[in-house]
Amino acid sequence: MTTKNQEENQAGITQEGRFYSAERLHAMHDMMLYIRRFEEKAGQMYGLKKIGGFCHLCNGQEAVCVGMEEASEPTDYMMTSYRDHGHIIARGSDPTAIMAELLGRAGGIVGGKGGSMHMFDKEKNFAGGNGIVGEQVPIGTGFAFASKYNDDKRVSITIMGDGGVNQGAVYESFNMAALWKLPVVFVIENNQYAMGTSLSRASAETHLYKRGISFKVPGIQVDGMDVLEVERKMAEAIEHARSGKGPMIVEMMTYRYRGHSMSDPATYRTRDEVDEWRSGRDPIVRLQKQMIEAGLSTEADFKQKDKDIKKEVVAVAKAAEAQPEPDLSALWDDIITDEIPNAYPYPRQVG
């Protein structure tokens, strides 16, 4: 349901009773498009062997990244698995530092120590970037525990995929979070495939929002290809957690256009299936249509915007690539905080 909002004499869209100003819609659109172009650039740089190791792109899932960020406060904690570029960009971290990390440069967001899978930005309360499937879920529960301990009303937004949701750590976390009414929103990005295994081949209960039932964790399912619905439903879930009612599960129905990682040709699904999501449900195209319909923008404006963003991303990649690799001395940094100088293995020494 999309209508022009005339009441406040302000241009925008009202959906399900929630008003989004033109300015905010543009910001959401631009961020989604930025993430899309950034990921495409990352894919290209990977193809040129400038990015090494594992690289998991989130093309198609941008509405989840941006809608969640829109619904949260900057002081709320957020953490996810290794498909993390989109989330940390949406959080507002420096894209050049993110690209520099992908390239293994000194100015990378974690100094070139982590790469694609380990993006962290403490200033933005973004805690990874965690490479072991499901590992971040107890950790996110721990951030929520700290919020409750300090009574500071911060919510932990703990993201996992439809693959991660089958890890035992997740259920241990659901239980503790419900038992102690911890302010955490467990977000399941259901992009239908855990690497190459489809949801129905891996999960007996494919309605993942129901996975909290035996822990009394309420769950909702959200169209993760609709950034406005993501924002709205996440706002409700975050409010639920912040108000002391405990955890909530939000299942985001989404789709990744690319393979699991750069080495995955995705032969386990049909081209038709990918095309159906790409052309029929794309989150960026969808918002563009809504905004054009509401008279907030034009196709020509969006084309120009796309050109501008592509230019920005090219500039970011160039700036990141121009950075030096980390100094070799960085090998020894940040292992231990309280170093004990006269004990073996000696800090900063071989042998």
CB nearer to other proteins: give 9 or 342: 342
Among 21, 175, 206, 261, binds other proteins (CB under 8 A): 175
Shortest distance (Å) from residue 238 CB to other proteins: 17
Q: How many residues does the chain have?
A: 351
Report yes or no: 96 and 319 within 8 Å, Cβ to Cβ.
yes
Sketch the per residue contact string, 59 through 98, with other proteins: x for CB under 8 A, - otherwise.
Answer: ------------------x---------------------
Report yes or no: 249 and 215 within 8 Å, Cβ to Cβ.
no
Site size toward other proteins, by CB under 8 A: 53
From the number of C-beta atoms within 10 Å of its C-beta (0-12, 13-18, 19+), residue 54 rates as middle
Residue type, 74: P
Written as one string, the DSSP assignment of 59-124 is TT-HHHHHHHHHHS-TTSEEEE-S--HHHHHHTT--HHHHHHHHTT-TTSTTTTSSGGG---BGGG
CB nearer to other proteins: give 7 or 334: 334
Among 60, 86, 104, 114, binds other proteins (CB under 8 A): 114
Shortest distance (Å) from residue 132 CB to other proteins: 5
The interaxial angle of helices 62-71 and 227-240, nearest 10 deg, is: 40
- Residue 30 CB partners (closer than 8 Å, separation 6+): 305, 309
CB nearer to other proteins: give 20 or 126: 126
Shortest distance (Å) from residue 146 CB to other proteins: 3
Count of C-beta atoms within a 10 Å radius of residue 214: 11
CB nearer to other proteins: give 135 or 229: 135
Shortest distance (Å) from residue 164 CB to other proteins: 13
Residues numbered 314 to 343 that lie near other proteins (CB under 8 A) are 333-338, 340, 342-343
Shortest distance (Å) from residue 182 CB to other proteins: 9
CB nearer to other proteins: give 62 or 84: 84
The token pair that represents 239 in the structure block: 């409010």
Among 53, 244, 293, 346, binds other proteins (CB under 8 A): 346
Stretch that binds other proteins, among 38-46, 108-116, 275-283, 301-309 (CB under 8 A): 108-116
Report yes or no: 22 and 11 within 8 Å, Cβ to Cβ.
yes
Residues numbered 123 to 152 that lie near other proteins (CB under 8 A) are 127-132, 135, 137-147, 149-150
Residue 104 interacts with other proteins (CB under 8 A)?
no
Whole-angstrom Cα distance, residue 169 to residue 137?
7
Q: b vs e for 311-330, b when ≥16 Cβ sit within 10 Å of the residue's Cβ?
A: eebeebbebbeebeebeeee
Residue 172 interacts with other proteins (CB under 8 A)?
yes
- Residue 253 CB partners (closer than 8 Å, separation 6+): 190, 221, 222, 223, 224, 225
CB nearer to other proteins: give 46 or 126: 126
Residues at the interface with other proteins (CB under 8 A): 77, 108-114, 118, 120-122, 127-132, 135, 137-147, 149-150, 156, 168-169, 172-173, 175-176, 179, 333-338, 340, 342-346, 351
